[in-house]
Structure 1
């Protein structure tokens, strides 16, 4: 039974799920791990969700605590190495770890540090939250997909399902979690990247023909990569599925990568297009669109960073 939860990463994704779990389990049973600088910031200016201030239970990385039953990683990819060390004291023999990071590498990194038996494969999608400072606004809370690496049922899957049901967190346990993880990677490489380059909102990505066509062509390159990698079942139906998902989101909502570009923050381009290009070279699969988009995204990030300096 899951009674103690720890969360690291209190941005537009982690804040919503930490709030839902705190509301159900009690704020004293959900610990949000933050560094001293962030703790001071959140103490002076509380995190708000849709205008309501939330009193999370913050703990510092060095604090000795009772190990968590469930540890949720919700940072950005470039923060993961530090996050792994910061949450180490929250991991015990019976801790289950899920990563809600974008990309296809975080589970491997967590397994290397804490043991493969502790890690469930997971990601979140259909979440349209935007963050400005400590204010987070959203119209949909997204869906968490999770599953065992071998796609078998397990006691901890059922415990997670029970917890999320009671906490009012939407979830799915898919038939093949690796395929779904790659489908989300397909979205990250295409929609996130193109939105950041063009400054397109969710609605723009779904309705402007030139952007929509480029998204679909890029997704086809990712499907080719997945096939070469041995991922079974990622096909054109997933392109249609995610077109419908993004068309259903708030029109003026923005992808996380576009929000990062506009704020002058480091983007996850290295874990999207750059990573996909690396895989293309390793697998002998041509990825000309992905290669070009990765370079354009890097250039766009550099230009915006200069403007925000």
Structure 2
């Protein structure tokens, strides 16, 4: 099967690399420096269980999605509409589109612009780009997707490639569960530049994270979302399973890139305002990250134009 990865950052490269290693034709669509490295030597897939140079195609624009039967959209939430506009002229009528993005509304936004069904996927993987053409995997890798006519067959395909996929009738709840984890960790990891394991050891951090989680749950409940499981237990488990992981927001700030914070804590703040629910902790975290990323936004305004931003994962 031909598969295109729109936004070949850490998340897209990991899943694209796993699929290519299993024998599928994969095209990574990303920034020129990364594309050049992949074209020259393949993708270096550096995982916890193996290391391999995986040959695959790479492109710098959305024409790489042409003839693909599956498109994994992995761009940052800030670039969702732009990605949809760029992909639209090239997508095959029967192409299946998955959204592997942070936030809870990207599939809906893609669907509105593309005029076709887009399947939301919840991503649980710790990865980073260690250099052009080099993705490093730190842990996990499973996906939760929504039900669709092709979901069962594609889930089996991913499983054969070493990627567990669960099909959920409550994918909205799973998306919110991931959002809540992001709201608990991402901003704090970005502000402190600390990995999760060290972050949670700080004085007062646990209480602050609990408050952020409770605000998110209150907003979700009022919005009619059924969030599965014990969210606080899930949040605590992240620090145990990914102790060395910096959040994607922390990675963005460290690289002086704009983050997705508007679609994480910022989304909860906006949704809370619409529902008349106070979210002071999420508002504070959102505001602090926006202050820290202001230089990155100014830099991005001068750099933008060659390619979309990529979503680095958790």
Q: CA deviation at 1:45?
A: 7.8
The CA distance in 1 between the partners of 2:62 and 2:254, in whole Å, is 33
The Cα shift of 1:49 comes to 2.7
Query: Deviations along 1:149-185, whole A, 9 cap, x unmatched?
Result: xxxxx43111111111111112222341110101111
Q: When you count helix as a share of all residues, which structure comes out higher?
A: 1
2:220 alignment partner in structure 1: 226
- Give the structure, 1 or 2, with the largest relative contact order (CA under 8 Å, sep 6 or more): 2
In the alignment, the residues of structure 1 paired with residue 64 and residue 29 of structure 2 have an alpha-carbon distance, to the nearest angstrom, of 12
Using the TM superposition, give the Cα deviation of residue 73 of structure 1 relative to its aligned residue in structure 2, in angstroms.
Answer: 0.6
Alignment equivalent of 2:128, drawn from 130, 135, 141:
130
The answer to whether structure 1 residue 203 and structure 2 residue 202 are counterparts is no
What residue number does 2:29 align with?
33
In structure 2, the partner of 1:288 is: 280
Which consecutive residues of structure 1, in runs of 5 or more, have no partner in the other structure?
A: 149-153
Within 5 Å, give how 1:15-54 maps onto structure 2: 15-26=13-24, 29-34=25-30, 39-40=35-36, 42-43=38-39, 47-50=43-46, 52-54=52-54
Q: Say if 2:96 and 2:118, in contact at 8 Å, map to a contact too.
A: yes
Q: 1:179-222, CA deviations, whole angstroms, 9 ceiling, x for partnerless residues? A: 01011111122211111112220212344352222112101100
Matched with 1:247 is 240
Counterpart for residue 7 of structure 1: 5
Q: Gaps (5+ residues) in structure 2?
A: 303-314
User: 1: distance between equivalents of 2:62 and 2:237?
Assistant: 44
Cross-structure match for 2:98: 98
User: Is the partner of 1:200 in helix, strand or coil?
Assistant: coil
Residue 139 of structure 1: aligned partner: 138
More deviation, 87-96/280-289: 87-96
Q: Within 5 A, what are the aligned runs for 1:101-120? A: 101-116=101-116, 118-120=117-119
Aligned-residue Cα RMSD (Å) equals 2.7
Aligned residue pairs: how many?
296
TM-score, scaled to structure 1: 0.86
